[in-house]
Amino acid sequence: MKQFEELLNNYYLSFDKLEKECPKHQKTRDTLVEVAKIIATDNKFLDYVKRKKRLPLIELVLRTGVSKKTLKRGRKYILAVTLIISDNRFVYLKSLFSLPIIKSDINSPKGDEDSE
């Protein structure tokens, strides 16, 4: 958890902010998780997020069809979920929050989780 907290700090996020801004409705959470999955599996989007520490809103609207307003409101949640599902160090968080495991996780060598 400490590693994830440090990573969140790099994106100007915290557990407190995430708790306050987590979407209340399941459908909204599901939509934002789908957006995070798209970012995590698209190198162009993921590089942008890691480099700029923010979402490529216009490109995501065009790619996903999700409104800019929804993306802005869920920005912190999307960033946090993207970080979890794109980083093999956080496999335990994926299972804790029932997040999808992307192919790069499945193909990674065993033992990566031990580096915590």
Across 108-113, average pLDDT: 42
Question: Is residue 116 pLDDT above 70, yes or no?
Answer: no
**Nearest C-alpha neighbor of 78 from the set 104, 109, 107, 99:** 99
Residue 88 pLDDT greater than 50, yes or no = yes
Domain count, the chain: 1
Q: What are phi and psi of 10, to 5 degrees?
A: -65, -25
Q: State mean pLDDT over 74-87.
A: 94
Q: What's the pLDDT tens digit per position in 46-76? A: 999 999 999 999 999 999 999 999 999 999 9
Nearest CA to 56 out of 79, 81, 77 is that of 79
Residues in CB range of 17: below 8 A, 6 or more apart: 76
pLDDT, residue 1, reads: 78
Segments forming the whole domain that contains residue 99: 2-115
pTM as predicted: 0.80
